[in-house]
Amino acid sequence: MKGRLIVLFLILLTAACASVEKPPPSAVSRMDAGKAESLLACIRKANEAMTPYKAIGRIGVDDDSGSWSVRAAWLGAPGGRFRVEAMGLAGQPFGKIICGPELCSFHFPEGGELRRRDTGRRSLGRLAGVDIDVDDLALLLGGGVPIADHDSVAAYRTLCGDPMLVLKKRFSGTVQHIRFSTDPIRVREVEMFTWQGTAYRAEILAVRSADERNMPSELQISDAEGHRLSVSVERCWADAAVPARAFSPELPGNTDTAP
Protein backbone atom coordinates (compact mmCIF):
# COMPACT_ATOMS: atom_id res chain seq x y z
CA MET A 1 0.00 0.00 0.00
CA LYS A 2 2.79 2.37 0.94
CA GLY A 3 4.56 1.65 -2.35
CA ARG A 4 1.41 2.48 -4.31
CA LEU A 5 1.06 5.80 -2.50
CA ILE A 6 4.65 6.69 -3.34
CA VAL A 7 4.09 5.87 -7.02
CA LEU A 8 0.88 7.95 -7.03
CA PHE A 9 2.69 10.86 -5.38
CA LEU A 10 5.47 10.74 -7.97
CA ILE A 11 2.94 10.71 -10.83
CA LEU A 12 1.10 13.72 -9.40
CA LEU A 13 4.37 15.55 -8.79
CA THR A 14 5.51 14.90 -12.37
CA ALA A 15 2.20 16.14 -13.74
CA ALA A 16 2.39 19.28 -11.61
CA CYS A 17 5.92 20.04 -12.76
CA ALA A 18 5.01 19.45 -16.40
CA SER A 19 2.09 21.86 -16.12
CA VAL A 20 4.28 24.76 -14.97
CA GLU A 21 4.96 27.08 -17.90
CA LYS A 22 8.66 27.84 -17.99
CA PRO A 23 9.75 30.05 -20.90
CA PRO A 24 12.90 29.04 -22.77
CA PRO A 25 16.10 30.89 -21.77
CA SER A 26 16.16 33.00 -24.95
CA ALA A 27 12.55 34.21 -24.55
CA VAL A 28 11.69 37.67 -23.22
CA SER A 29 7.90 37.65 -23.52
CA ARG A 30 5.07 35.30 -24.35
CA MET A 31 2.88 36.01 -27.37
CA ASP A 32 -0.86 35.36 -27.47
CA ALA A 33 -2.19 31.88 -28.17
CA GLY A 34 -3.61 32.95 -31.52
CA LYS A 35 -0.13 33.80 -32.78
CA ALA A 36 1.17 30.36 -31.80
CA GLU A 37 -1.64 28.59 -33.64
CA SER A 38 -1.21 30.88 -36.66
CA LEU A 39 2.51 30.15 -36.98
CA LEU A 40 1.97 26.41 -36.58
CA ALA A 41 -0.81 26.50 -39.17
CA CYS A 42 1.56 28.18 -41.65
CA ILE A 43 4.09 25.39 -41.15
CA ARG A 44 1.46 22.70 -41.63
CA LYS A 45 0.25 24.42 -44.80
CA ALA A 46 3.80 24.53 -46.21
CA ASN A 47 4.31 20.85 -45.34
CA GLU A 48 1.07 19.85 -47.06
CA ALA A 49 2.09 21.84 -50.16
CA MET A 50 5.41 20.00 -50.50
CA THR A 51 5.84 18.41 -53.92
CA PRO A 52 8.49 16.00 -55.24
CA TYR A 53 11.85 17.73 -55.61
CA LYS A 54 15.36 17.17 -56.94
CA ALA A 55 18.68 18.75 -55.98
CA ILE A 56 22.42 18.58 -56.56
CA GLY A 57 25.06 19.72 -54.10
CA ARG A 58 27.52 18.58 -51.44
CA ILE A 59 26.95 16.64 -48.25
CA GLY A 60 29.47 16.75 -45.42
CA VAL A 61 29.73 14.80 -42.17
CA ASP A 62 31.77 15.56 -39.04
CA ASP A 63 31.64 12.81 -36.42
CA ASP A 64 33.86 10.77 -34.10
CA SER A 65 35.56 9.04 -37.03
CA GLY A 66 36.58 12.29 -38.73
CA SER A 67 35.30 14.57 -41.48
CA TRP A 68 34.36 13.90 -45.08
CA SER A 69 32.27 15.45 -47.83
CA VAL A 70 30.97 14.21 -51.15
CA ARG A 71 29.14 15.58 -54.14
CA ALA A 72 25.63 14.15 -54.26
CA ALA A 73 22.23 14.24 -55.93
CA TRP A 74 18.98 13.58 -54.12
CA LEU A 75 15.24 13.23 -54.65
CA GLY A 76 12.46 13.67 -52.13
CA ALA A 77 8.69 13.28 -52.10
CA PRO A 78 5.86 13.36 -49.55
CA GLY A 79 5.32 10.25 -47.46
CA GLY A 80 8.90 9.79 -46.27
CA ARG A 81 10.28 8.94 -49.72
CA PHE A 82 13.90 9.93 -50.19
CA ARG A 83 16.83 8.93 -52.36
CA VAL A 84 20.39 10.21 -52.28
CA GLU A 85 23.30 9.15 -54.49
CA ALA A 86 26.93 9.94 -53.70
CA MET A 87 28.88 10.70 -56.87
CA GLY A 88 32.51 10.09 -57.78
CA LEU A 89 34.92 12.50 -59.45
CA ALA A 90 33.56 11.67 -62.89
CA GLY A 91 29.97 12.14 -61.73
CA GLN A 92 29.09 8.45 -61.56
CA PRO A 93 27.13 7.25 -58.49
CA PHE A 94 29.03 4.92 -56.16
CA GLY A 95 26.66 4.69 -53.19
CA LYS A 96 22.92 5.13 -52.69
CA ILE A 97 20.32 5.42 -49.95
CA ILE A 98 16.78 4.68 -51.12
CA CYS A 99 13.88 5.04 -48.69
CA GLY A 100 10.22 4.33 -49.22
CA PRO A 101 7.48 4.76 -46.61
CA GLU A 102 8.49 1.59 -44.73
CA LEU A 103 11.90 0.39 -45.91
CA CYS A 104 15.33 1.98 -46.33
CA SER A 105 17.98 0.36 -48.53
CA PHE A 106 21.68 1.14 -48.46
CA HIS A 107 23.58 0.34 -51.68
CA PHE A 108 27.37 0.33 -51.55
CA PRO A 109 30.22 -1.17 -53.60
CA GLU A 110 31.99 -4.17 -52.11
CA GLY A 111 34.24 -6.69 -53.79
CA GLY A 112 33.60 -5.31 -57.25
CA GLU A 113 29.82 -5.51 -57.00
CA LEU A 114 26.97 -3.45 -55.61
CA ARG A 115 25.63 -4.78 -52.33
CA ARG A 116 22.33 -3.85 -50.76
CA ARG A 117 21.34 -3.78 -47.11
CA ASP A 118 17.71 -3.31 -46.13
CA THR A 119 16.50 -2.00 -42.80
CA GLY A 120 13.22 -0.91 -41.27
CA ARG A 121 15.02 1.70 -39.20
CA ARG A 122 14.45 5.30 -40.27
CA SER A 123 17.40 6.88 -38.44
CA LEU A 124 20.43 8.03 -40.44
CA GLY A 125 22.57 8.23 -37.31
CA ARG A 126 25.11 5.56 -38.26
CA LEU A 127 25.73 7.10 -41.66
CA ALA A 128 25.16 10.82 -41.12
CA GLY A 129 26.65 11.09 -37.64
CA VAL A 130 23.49 12.80 -36.35
CA ASP A 131 20.46 10.80 -35.17
CA ILE A 132 17.85 12.27 -37.53
CA ASP A 133 15.06 10.29 -39.18
CA VAL A 134 15.04 10.20 -42.96
CA ASP A 135 11.47 11.55 -42.86
CA ASP A 136 12.65 14.71 -41.07
CA LEU A 137 15.60 15.20 -43.42
CA ALA A 138 13.45 14.74 -46.53
CA LEU A 139 10.96 17.28 -45.21
CA LEU A 140 13.64 19.85 -44.33
CA LEU A 141 15.36 19.57 -47.71
CA GLY A 142 11.98 19.96 -49.41
CA GLY A 143 11.28 23.26 -47.71
CA GLY A 144 9.12 21.83 -44.93
CA VAL A 145 9.47 21.55 -41.17
CA PRO A 146 8.98 18.35 -39.13
CA ILE A 147 6.48 18.78 -36.30
CA ALA A 148 6.90 16.68 -33.16
CA ASP A 149 3.95 14.94 -31.55
CA HIS A 150 2.74 17.40 -28.93
CA ASP A 151 -0.12 18.37 -26.61
CA SER A 152 0.41 22.14 -26.43
CA VAL A 153 2.15 24.97 -28.29
CA ALA A 154 3.18 28.44 -27.13
CA ALA A 155 4.78 31.37 -28.94
CA TYR A 156 7.47 33.62 -27.45
CA ARG A 157 9.37 36.70 -28.50
CA THR A 158 13.13 36.09 -28.28
CA LEU A 159 15.93 38.44 -27.27
CA CYS A 160 16.52 39.41 -30.91
CA GLY A 161 12.82 40.10 -31.43
CA ASP A 162 12.02 37.04 -33.53
CA PRO A 163 9.14 34.67 -32.76
CA MET A 164 9.72 31.17 -31.44
CA LEU A 165 7.37 28.22 -31.00
CA VAL A 166 7.70 25.82 -28.06
CA LEU A 167 5.93 22.48 -28.40
CA LYS A 168 5.32 20.38 -25.29
CA LYS A 169 3.97 16.95 -24.48
CA ARG A 170 2.43 16.01 -21.16
CA PHE A 171 4.89 14.18 -18.89
CA SER A 172 7.68 14.64 -21.49
CA GLY A 173 8.01 18.41 -21.29
CA THR A 174 9.47 20.32 -24.23
CA VAL A 175 9.73 18.25 -27.41
CA GLN A 176 10.53 20.94 -30.00
CA HIS A 177 11.63 24.54 -30.54
CA ILE A 178 10.95 26.27 -33.87
CA ARG A 179 12.69 29.61 -34.33
CA PHE A 180 11.76 32.10 -37.01
CA SER A 181 13.46 35.02 -38.70
CA THR A 182 11.43 38.04 -39.77
CA ASP A 183 11.22 40.26 -42.85
CA PRO A 184 10.19 37.98 -44.42
CA ILE A 185 9.12 35.55 -41.76
CA ARG A 186 10.47 32.03 -42.27
CA VAL A 187 11.71 29.13 -40.16
CA ARG A 188 15.44 29.42 -39.50
CA GLU A 189 16.02 26.74 -36.84
CA VAL A 190 14.36 23.54 -35.67
CA GLU A 191 15.43 21.82 -32.45
CA MET A 192 14.09 18.42 -31.42
CA PHE A 193 14.29 17.10 -27.87
CA THR A 194 14.12 13.75 -26.11
CA TRP A 195 14.04 13.15 -22.37
CA GLN A 196 17.85 13.15 -22.51
CA GLY A 197 18.11 16.60 -24.09
CA THR A 198 18.66 17.85 -27.63
CA ALA A 199 18.20 15.12 -30.26
CA TYR A 200 19.27 17.40 -33.10
CA ARG A 201 19.29 21.04 -34.15
CA ALA A 202 18.68 21.95 -37.81
CA GLU A 203 19.78 25.42 -38.89
CA ILE A 204 18.49 26.73 -42.21
CA LEU A 205 21.33 29.13 -42.98
CA ALA A 206 20.15 30.22 -46.44
CA VAL A 207 17.17 29.66 -48.72
CA ARG A 208 16.40 30.05 -52.39
CA SER A 209 13.17 30.15 -54.35
CA ALA A 210 12.43 27.16 -56.58
CA ASP A 211 9.14 27.23 -58.46
CA GLU A 212 7.72 29.70 -55.91
CA ARG A 213 8.72 27.51 -52.96
CA ASN A 214 11.44 28.40 -50.46
CA MET A 215 14.03 25.62 -50.40
CA PRO A 216 17.12 25.52 -48.15
CA SER A 217 20.38 26.18 -49.96
CA GLU A 218 22.51 25.79 -46.81
CA LEU A 219 21.40 23.37 -44.10
CA GLN A 220 23.38 22.35 -41.03
CA ILE A 221 22.22 19.67 -38.60
CA SER A 222 24.06 19.01 -35.34
CA ASP A 223 23.63 17.24 -32.01
CA ALA A 224 24.72 17.81 -28.42
CA GLU A 225 27.95 15.82 -28.96
CA GLY A 226 29.14 18.14 -31.74
CA HIS A 227 28.45 15.77 -34.63
CA ARG A 228 27.39 17.66 -37.74
CA LEU A 229 25.69 16.97 -41.07
CA SER A 230 26.01 19.78 -43.63
CA VAL A 231 24.14 20.11 -46.91
CA SER A 232 25.06 22.72 -49.51
CA VAL A 233 22.66 22.94 -52.46
CA GLU A 234 23.97 24.01 -55.85
CA ARG A 235 20.78 23.53 -57.86
CA CYS A 236 17.28 22.45 -56.91
CA TRP A 237 13.93 21.87 -58.58
CA ALA A 238 10.58 21.85 -56.80
CA ASP A 239 7.47 20.23 -58.28
CA ALA A 240 9.80 17.88 -60.16
CA ALA A 241 8.69 14.90 -62.21
CA VAL A 242 9.89 12.05 -59.99
CA PRO A 243 8.57 8.57 -60.90
CA ALA A 244 7.54 6.23 -58.09
CA ARG A 245 10.13 3.67 -59.21
CA ALA A 246 12.87 6.13 -58.21
CA PHE A 247 12.23 5.05 -54.62
CA SER A 248 12.26 1.33 -55.35
CA PRO A 249 15.24 -0.49 -53.77
CA GLU A 250 15.39 -3.08 -56.55
CA LEU A 251 18.86 -2.63 -58.04
CA PRO A 252 21.37 -5.24 -59.26
CA GLY A 253 23.53 -6.71 -56.52
CA ASN A 254 23.43 -8.80 -53.37
CA THR A 255 21.06 -8.05 -50.54
CA ASP A 256 21.57 -8.25 -46.80
CA THR A 257 18.56 -7.74 -44.53
CA ALA A 258 18.92 -5.96 -41.21
CA PRO A 259 16.32 -5.72 -38.44
CATH number at residue 249: 2.50.20.10
Indicate the number of domains in the chain.
1
Q: What are phi and psi of 70, to 5 degrees?
A: -150, 145
Assigned domain for 56 exists: yes
CA nearest neighbour of 151 among 136, 137, 172, 125: 172
In Å, the largest CA–CA distance within the chain is 72
Assigned domain for 5 exists: no
Of 104-113, 140-149, 232-241, where does mean pLDDT reach its minimum?
104-113
Assigned domain for 137 exists: yes
Assigned domain for 180 exists: yes
pLDDT for position 125:
83
* Boundaries of domain holding 238: 26-257
Provide the whole-model pTM: 0.84
**Average pLDDT of span 61-68:** 88
Assigned domain for 100 exists: yes
Assigned domain for 1 exists: no
Assigned domain for 33 exists: yes
Assigned domain for 4 exists: no
